Amino acid sequence: MVRDLLALPTALPLITASFATDEVHLLVGTGSTDSISVCKNRIHSILNAGGNPIVVSPSSTSHAKQLHMEFGCFEKFQVIERGFALSDLTTLGRSLVCKVVDRVFVDLPVAQSNLCDEIFWQCQKLRIPINTFHKPEFSTFNMIPTWMDPKGSGLQIAVTTNGNGYILANRIKRDIVSHLPPNISEVVINMGYLKDRIINEDHKILLKEKYYQTDMSLPGFGYGLDEDGWESHKFNKLIREFEMTSREQRLKRTRWLSQIMEYYPMNKLSDIKLEDFEIPSSTTKKAKQESAIEGIVSPANEKLGRETEQLQLSEVGKKKGPETQGEISLVGSGPGSVSMLTIGALQEIKTADIILADKLVPQAILDLIPTQTETFIAKKFPGNAERAQQELLAKGLESLMDGLKVVRLKQGDPYIFGRGGEEFNFFKDRGYIPSVLPGISSSLACTVLAQIPATQRNIADQVLICTGTGRKGALPEIPEFVKSRTTVFLMALHRANVLITELLKHGWDSDVPAAIVERGSCPDQRVTRTLLKWVPEVVEEIGSRPPGVLVVGKAVNALADQDVSNLSESRKYVVDEGFREFEVDTDSLFK
């Protein structure tokens, strides 16, 4: 279903996580005489959040006794057994806020609806958030069914249907929780530990530098509590690996941690250690002399020093392999959906001794790997791609020399901007000729998934697949603009501003339709349609959901429900969310 972000049918509540430490929350009434469960649940929630719950005007003496028995041991809790007075709103609060209470919950009998009205309007005047049970017209906020990790990791999951089904919201919440990895507590705790360590160690010096004397903000990679505020459009910002500034050097671990959180298999995040962020920076003279293997060395590597990049491969060269010859295959895993994985690729995954995977291979594909199969995921993060490639090649060569079956699992197709040709030559030159299994390339699959016919009579008669990031971060040679062509740019969204500027300089039509297709074939697929000239600001506004491709051409409009040519400055894009997966029983394929 297309979602027009600028024309929502009704205003939806702004969902926030509120701090309640030491706040006074006033509960007026305790519900109907036969049930006090709602009141008790709210008191538990307030106490867990560090607040001070005060109950005024309990519905019955029995309710007051129950509350005293259950919560009387908490110093922050109290019950006032008398009728409610409007003056309670301005006399029971903290001295810090002139005795005004911080939040009000009302649960009074139907017969006292007039009092509910009075309390609501008085709270409005005093700007006190108020919730009146089962009366949205007398409420400025509502409580949301929330799951809190019982192991204390800090993870909370809340779901709301905004009044369309309170039972349904609870069911959806339970369904989400049931699909979490069993070790989710350890995952959250470990990521928090690493984030704190890295920020404390790497940012300590930066906080004293001149940069922060003018701009005290920390980089937007999930630092702090505003989890929706990190600048995701800069997530894959180009970092010239061997030309990093001192500031980029100090921030590289922060950037890599954010990439690990986004790309690595969820259940493996609990095993990531601080040492995994360390990279060998030098090697010994002996190691240089004993180097038995010439690796793939780019000019950038030579600038840093050939010996640095060859350390791991040199060590592999010293080993003596077994009598059994290892074998290797380069396998394309497709865009992400299991339904788009070839049978040959699945066979290789199921029979591998070790799998070397790109970070972009999605969780659904990695879940197909047998639990006993070793899995190594490349650390190809911005500023670490060349080193990570060397590490991956060394791991593959070492496994081959041990006589293992190695599967190099690549997102999309191995030969479409995937270094497949380089890796083929590397292993071939060392006596191991890889088998290569093609995969459905995201460059063409994503057009189909976004309802874009890459070619169609009278609209598009040719397709061009182009990279947005060349060697050492350079822009590609800008192709000419052809009206009847569909152009697909890979690895371009992280530098959309630079790319689009160059396209327009080279005569591209600024009003040609463009589509940003992210996480193609995955459940969280997102397709955003706009015009070429607006792509950079649209990317900045909607953020990034990598991996993604940019599709440019009239074909973007061919099957669209809404002609993006009619968009305007006040409404620059439309979004289509989600992908319905085709169910595939992979186990039955091998019976």
CATH code of the domain in which 117 resides? 3.40.50.720
Residue 14 lies in a domain: no
Interatomic CA distance for residues 28 and 287, integer angstroms: 76
- Regarding whether 424 and 332 lie in a shared domain, the answer is yes
Span 532-548, average pLDDT: 89
Q: Is the pLDDT of residue 305 over 70?
A: no
Is 134 in the same domain as 199? Answer: no
Q: What is the DSSP letter of 538?
A: H
For position 240, what pLDDT does the model report? 53
Residues 525-539 have pLDDT tens digits of 999 999 999 999 999
Question: What average pLDDT does this structure show over 552-574?
Answer: 91
Asked whether residue 33 falls in the same domain as residue 130, the answer is yes
Question: Do the domain assignments include residue 388?
Answer: yes
CA torsion, points 221, 227, 229, 231, in degrees to nearest 10? 30
Cα 238 to Cα 91, 243, 259, 493: the distances in Å are 57, 11, 13, 10
pLDDT in tens, 396-430: 999 999 999 999 999 999 999 888 999 999 999 99
Do 466 and 568 belong together in one domain?
Answer: yes
Rounded to whole angstroms, the Cα distance separating 547 from 262 reads: 10
Mark whether 418 and 302 lie in a shared domain: yes
What the block records as the tokens of 409 is 């699992």
Mean pLDDT: which of 37-41, 349-353, 360-364 is highest? 349-353
Q: Does the structure show a pLDDT above 80 at 44? A: yes
Choose the weakest-confidence range: 35-44, 101-110, 207-216, 418-427: 207-216
Same domain assignment for residues 434 and 447: no
Distance CA 68, CA 74 (A): 10
- The burial of 320, by beta-carbon neighbours within 10 Å (0-12 exposed, 13-18 middle, 19 or more buried), is given as exposed
Q: What is the dihedral of CA 204, 209, 213, 217, to 10 degrees?
A: -40
Domain total in the chain? 4
Tell me which residues are annotated as active site. Answer: 358, 379
Per the domain annotation, does 17 fall within a domain? no
Residue 300 has pLDDT above 90, yes or no: no
pLDDT given at position 279:
56
Identify the CATH number of the domain in which residue 358 sits.
Answer: 3.40.1010.10
Cα-based distances in Å from 255 to 220, 250, 383, 438: 9, 10, 9, 32
Residue bearing the bigger pLDDT, 163 or 472: 163
What is the pLDDT, as a whole number, of residue 362? 83
Identify the band that residue 540 occupies on the pLDDT scale cut at 50, 70 and 90: confident
Task: Give the pLDDT score at 512.
Answer: 97
Percent of all residues in the chain with a pLDDT value above 90, rounded to a whole number: 52
Last residue of a domain, one of 440, 472, 500: 440
| Judgement on whether residues 207 and 324 belong to the same structural domain of the protein | no
Whether residues 501 and 457 share a domain: the answer is: yes
Pick from 28, 48, 49, 24: nearest CA to 38: 28
Determine, yes or no, domain membership for 477: yes
From CA 168, how far away is CA 46, in angstroms rounded? 24
Question: Model pTM?
Answer: 0.70
Looking at 391, 407, 440, the residue that finishes a domain is 440
Lowest mean pLDDT among 154-168, 291-305, 408-422, 481-495: 291-305
407 in any annotated domain: yes
pLDDT digits (tens, 9 = 90+) for 384-399: 677 888 889 999 999 9
Within a domain: residue 175? Answer: no
Residue 158, domain member (yes or no): no
Residue 429 sits in the same domain as residue 317 = yes
Owning domain of residue 87: 24-143
Same domain, 433 and 448: no
| 345 and 401 share one domain | yes
- For range 168-187, the mean pLDDT: 92
* Residues 322, 420 within the same domain: yes
In degrees to the nearest 10, what's the CA dihedral of 171, 172, 178, 183?
Answer: -130
